[in-house]
Amino acid sequence: MRMSRGDLWTIKRVLDWTSGYLERKGDEHPRLSAEWLLANVCGLSRVELYVNFDKPLEADELAAMHAAIERRASGEPLQYVTGEMPFRHIVLRCERGVLIPRPETEILVDAALEGVDEALARQGGGATEGEAQRCVRVLEVGTGTGCIALSVASERPGTHVTATDLSERAVELATRNREALGLEDAVDIVECDLAEGVDPELMGGFSVLVSNPPYIPTRVLREEVPAEVADFEPELALDGGEDGLDVFRRLLDLAPAALEAGGMLCVELFEGSLEDAAALVRERDGWASVEIREDLTHRPRVLVARRALDKEE
């Protein structure tokens, strides 16, 4: 990118130039990328860019835009370049080393919220709404940025979420996102494998166990996943083993110990693995139902299973 600081680089000129440059570099959505980058550099919304077309960039903004364009042109995901990602009703910090939230994961949050609502209905018996809400607990395994835990806590006030992650970097980022959203009292974040660090007194009392685990089959990750994902996002959060179900099997082992009677297990999985995952659930005692739900592109994406109301197995 060559933008002489002696020239007048307005928002419109920068947008147009950046779109053309990124298109030549192979960006699939060059105009959208240009808008995201420039909005981030200028501290404006994408709508505000279009009502400030004639506004010239300051020298420091021009330098920052130059750096951002080159990072994006190299294939680095937009969310890492801008450092943030809108997800449902919240905005999250994103950093390299932590998985970027995906739109399809919003379906997983919908399932978790459904589980919370079912728990509230089960607890109905004379309790006030506030009392019922204080009883509902959610366990998330593999929180990453915290997108699931923080969405559940913000959309169902009174629900308490315990979120875990094996990655120190993810725990640190999720903690900062939690503090930025003011959800310190609603979400606990624990660095551990699965639920090993969770208070034992809480086990058996969770209404929902939700997870977006590593689920891409190793061969698919090596041969089919775009470089923008494989080269920049952490393999720890992507590789699900030979069939994509290595971590899911461990979650299925964990669920009976973690969930209350009638509790819900909801897990995002690779589209080609969901039928096998559902079969694994059906082989186990203590499950009342299991279903597969589609994502926003109508691909199978989320497994939802409910424990029997009678915990005898």
Percentage of residues in the chain with pLDDT exceeding 70?
94
| pTM listed for this prediction | 0.85
**Whether CATH 3.40.50.150 fits 105-307:** yes
Show Cβ contacts of residue 226 under 8 Å, excluding neighbours closer than 6 positions.
Answer: none
**Domain extents in the chain:** 11-74, 105-307
Could you report the per-residue pLDDT of 81-128, keeping only the tens digit for each?
999 988 999 999 999 989 889 888 999 999 999 999 999 998 874 444
- pLDDT single digits (tens) 162-175: 999 999 999 999 99
